[in-house]
Amino acid sequence: MTINDYENVVVTGASSGIGEAVARSLSEAGLTVHAIARRTERLDELAANTKCIVHTMDVCDSKAFIDLLETIEVDILINNAGVGRGFGNLVDANFEDIETTIDTNVKAAIYAAKAVLPGMVERRNGHLINIGSMAGLYPLASSLYGATKGATHVLSMDLRLELQGTGVRVTEICPGRVTTEFYDAALDDHAMVESKKNSGIKEVTSEDISQAVIYALDAPQHVNINRIELQPTEQTYGGMQFTPRSPK
């Protein structure tokens, strides 16, 4: 079982960044790609330049999202849709951003898995790929976003246990800094967006992530790529900090 043995793919968050790159790569590999996102104009452009079948939809619209997935015999699900609203300190986040981030990053991914996994199990064939983040594995001063990606990490590990013996594979892709529109959508302060985007290092690209996805999909059936961590050479995580308590 390699990538050539699959047929239908669903990619969420496919209008830009990692999702778009994955959709393009899998379409070029000859798979039937269903690309889901909210931005119609971006999806129309994707459809014009690829063989992707596009669906304008907010994955937070649970009923419409599930209804669509249940009409497709999904062989591969790429749970990529994600947002970073409330990125930064939880103290400064508002409740609307908290709800949006949890609904998009966690709830929609679980609903998607629930919708497609019964068919995969019945056919004893399928691959679920969750796009997580290094923020879900290591401490980061963004507890809301980190918590949602931590949920992606645990979901991926636990599904591996649940699906043992079914032939269905589960992979988590955990990028570090990637050149995408993440901060443009996550932050409202333009100056902060620019400071976050200008890391001063050569970042991982969306195409790098899409190649990692293909690597996991193309592994022999007896091999499950559990998790891939990838980040810029000049970025790492860890260390220790000491900060005196601020006076009242």
Q: Are 9 and 31 in contact (CB under 8 A)?
A: yes
| Residue 192 vs residues 64, 77, 101, 187: alpha-carbon distances, Å | 35, 34, 19, 7
Alpha helices in 131-226, H assignment, sequence order: 143-162, 182-186, 190-197, 206-217
Chain-centroid distance, C-alpha 137: 14
CA 33 to CA 74: how far, in whole Å? 10
**Is 145 an active-site residue?**
yes
DSSP string computed for 72-141:
S--SEEEE-----TT-S-GGG--HHHHHHHHIIIIIHHHHHHHHHHHHHHHHT-EEEEEE--GGGTS--S
From the list 6, 111, 138, 145, the catalytic residue is 145
Q: Are 231 and 177 in contact (CB under 8 A)?
A: yes
Active-site residue set:
145
